[in-house]
């Protein structure tokens, strides 16, 4: 085995400051000129950026090491890394010893007496459970249902700017396979023959994988097949479209336009799972796959009035998905209601031997739940401090409804007084690393959004986050994980306004699961939402509580008028 060069590890700050200096102006097209020499004045300027104060003597001692270390940094920069290559450090949200219970057989109790609608257009807003019953009982074929949704995608996808690629040939072949299996007596389960869409950061052979971004709009990932797509293939589901996302998983602006909210076409769909939420809401697909790093399931599910499940980090394999933040990315379903999310989650969860962050915890879902036997908390100050009166009224209605259903609600205060901004540097640093080549090649200029808050500038800014600060942010993250786990151990579910203060940042950092669902409408007629937060690996409980709330209120059955009967 080749022995490491000890010079490379002697003074880590040498490489760090070299990176800073290279990033802060000693570049032409991000190609370092060979004649660059780091001088005392360079270090004096650079150290301000990383909040460091060295004496003149310390800087003089440091200079030879920095200049030698610059060559090592160049060597690293020139080494090609694909976005799919993860770091050799894995994030595990489970910091305590957990003895998982055994997996029990799930009894889904799918509806049996589902009939075809008199107006076929009504199929657009049938739930997965209802469509599953129609397929299983051969009241409609998968080919017929698939063609129905393909037609809706063709008709409305352009209006919503929610579709990147319609996978027609693959879809019809899968649908025929599903029908042939059923004709021979083989039924693969609730998703057998059900069409769906996927956020276009998931690789599918034979189709481009654009990541919603101009630099990658013609990207061919070869034979790479995302694990979640393979799992859905194996369950008999039918991929009908690859849907839009904000470029590189930020917002709702992609290289082809801005994805629209079907409740209000003057408004963007929010992001970054914009197409998945918009298409599901408008009845272009029965369900879709989304991803979340810092709100990308919660936010578009809110805006478009659908139900989203952000699973525990490490519940669903990210293999074959674009990496933004290896320690924060999560894949989950977006559907009409919590029951549909449970049906999809059961299929996509679990390890694959590729994404080593995944744990095989059980999913013991029970569709019926006695809220009087659950420990339910709510983030009182978040509810009290909601400024928008309509949102506040809608949120209070959720608490009132849960109380009617038997819940004994306890006020809870969320973790606070922690450097959340500093911790979010974890996401910034990992994202900049994932797209290092994009920055260095200047191809980031091909992205549509170029303002100070957009990725090109954020990636550049992240170059000035030191490894020391990144590691210390993760150390604080560990303390946050301890605090949230300590709080959650006394509750089965905690209710929170979806965008309440730092709740969204906290739970994305700790990896806790959440279900987000519609709870009313704002002054402009667009949906609002509420979030149910659960313990690690306990998606079953929050999905059951969400289902109880939805069955009691019916918000999930209300669809955008512009796309009903069309």
Which sequence positions are flagged as catalytic?
199, 272, 296
Q: Rounded to an integer, what is the distance from CA 476 to the centroid of its chain?
A: 23
Give the pair of three-digit tokens for residue 163.
């579709």
CA 510/CA 94 separation, integer angstroms: 9
Q: Report the 10 Å Cβ neighbour count for 80.
A: 6
DSSP class of residue 356 equals T
CA 304/CA 314 separation, integer angstroms: 26
Phi, psi angles (nearest 5°) of residue 136: -60, -40
Nearest by Cα to 501 from 416, 427, 396: 416
Helices (H), 435-535: 436-440, 455-462, 467-488, 503-510
Asked if 529 and 302 touch (Cβ cutoff 8 Å), the reply is yes
Asked if 70 and 36 touch (Cβ cutoff 8 Å), the reply is yes
Asked if 267 and 286 touch (Cβ cutoff 8 Å), the reply is no
Please give the radius of gyration of the chain, using alpha carbons only, rounded to the nearest integer.
25
Asked if 266 and 524 touch (Cβ cutoff 8 Å), the reply is no
Give the total residue count for the chain: 566
- DSSP for 277-341? HHHHHTTSSS-EEEEESSSTTHHHHHHHT-EEEEPPTTSB--TTBPPS-TTT-EEEEEESSHHHH
Element (DSSP H or E) covering residue 334: strand 330-335
CA 270/CA 526 separation, integer angstroms: 12
Please report, to the nearest 10 degrees, the dihedral formed by the alpha carbons of residues 534, 539, 541, 545 taken in order: 80
Asked if 557 and 340 touch (Cβ cutoff 8 Å), the reply is no
- DSSP for 459-475? HHHHTTS-HHHHHHHHH
CA 299/CA 291 separation, integer angstroms: 11
| Distance from the first to the final alpha carbon of the chain | 66
CA 120/CA 117 separation, integer angstroms: 6
Residue 44 Cα distances to 16, 35, 54, angstroms: 14, 20, 8
CA 259/CA 507 separation, integer angstroms: 26
């Amino acid at each position: 085995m080749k022995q490491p060069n000890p010079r490379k590890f002697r003074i880590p700050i040498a490489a760090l400051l070299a990176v800073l200096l290279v990033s802060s102006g000693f570049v032409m097209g991000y190609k370092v000129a060979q004649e660059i020499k780091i001088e005392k004045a360079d270090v004096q300027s650079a150290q301000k950026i990383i909040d460091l104060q060295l004496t003149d003597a310390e800087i003089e001692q440091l200079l030879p090491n920095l200049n030698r270390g610059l060559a090592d940094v160049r060597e690293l920069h020139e080494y090609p890394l694909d976005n799919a290559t993860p770091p050799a450090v894995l994030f595990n949200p489970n910091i305590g010893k957990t003895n998982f219970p055994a997996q029990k057989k799930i009894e889904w109790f799918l509806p049996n007496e589902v009939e075809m609608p008199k107006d076929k257009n009504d199929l657009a807003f049938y739930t997965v459970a209802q469509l599953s019953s129609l397929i299983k009982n051969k009241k409609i074929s998968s080919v017929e249902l698939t063609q129905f949704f393909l037609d809706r995608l063709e008709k409305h996808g352009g209006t919503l700017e929610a579709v990147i690629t319609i996978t027609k040939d693959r879809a019809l072949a899968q649908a025929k396979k599903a029908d042939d299996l059923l004709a021979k007596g083989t039924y693969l389960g609730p998703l057998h023959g059900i069409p769906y869409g996927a956020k276009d950061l998931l690789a599918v052979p034979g189709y481009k994988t654009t990541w919603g971004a101009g630099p990658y709009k013609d990207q061919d990932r070869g034979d790479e097949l995302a694990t979640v797509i393979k799992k859905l293939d194996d369950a008999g589901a039918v991929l009908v479209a690859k849907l839009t996302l904000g470029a590189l998983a930020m917002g709702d602006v992609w290289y082809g336009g801005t994805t629209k909210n079907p409740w209000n076409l003057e408004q963007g769909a929010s992001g970054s799972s914009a197409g998945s939420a918009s298409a599901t809401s408008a009845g272009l697909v029965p369900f879709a796959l989304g991803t979340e790093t810092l709100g990308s399931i919660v936010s578009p599910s809110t805006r478009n009035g659908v139900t989203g499940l952000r699973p525990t980090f490490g519940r669903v394999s990210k293999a074959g998905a674009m990496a933004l933040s290896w320690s924060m990315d999560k894949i989950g379903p977006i559907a009409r209601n919590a029951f549909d999310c449970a049906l999809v989650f059961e299929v996509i969860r679990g390890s694959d031997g590729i994404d080593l962050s995944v744990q095989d915890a059980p999913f013991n879902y029970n569709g019926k739940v006695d809220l009087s036997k659950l420990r339910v908390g709510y983030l009182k100050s978040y509810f009290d401090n909601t400024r928008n009166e309509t949102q506040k009224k809608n949120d209070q209605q959720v608490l009132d409804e849960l109380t009617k259903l038997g819940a004994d609600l306890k006020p809870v205060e969320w973790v606070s007084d922690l450097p959340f901004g500093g911790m979010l540097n974890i996401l910034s640093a990992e994202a900049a690393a994932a797209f290092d080549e994009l920055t260095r090649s200047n191809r980031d200029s091909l992205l549509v959004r170029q303002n100070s808050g957009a990725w090109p500038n954020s990636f550049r800014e992240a170059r000035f986050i030191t490894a020391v600060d990144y590691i210390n942010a993760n150390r604080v993250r560990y303390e946050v994980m301890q605090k949230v786990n300590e709080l959650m151990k006394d509750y089965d579910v905690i209710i929170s306004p979806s965008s309440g203060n730092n709740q969204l940042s906290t739970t994305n950092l700790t990896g806790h699961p959440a279900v987000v669902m519609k709870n009313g409408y704002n002054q402009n007629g667009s949906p609002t939402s509420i979030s149910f937060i659960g313990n690690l690996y306990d998606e079953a409980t929050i999905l059951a509580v969400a289902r109880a709330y939805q069955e009691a209120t019916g918000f999930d059955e209300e669809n955008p008028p512009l796309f009903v009967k069309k």
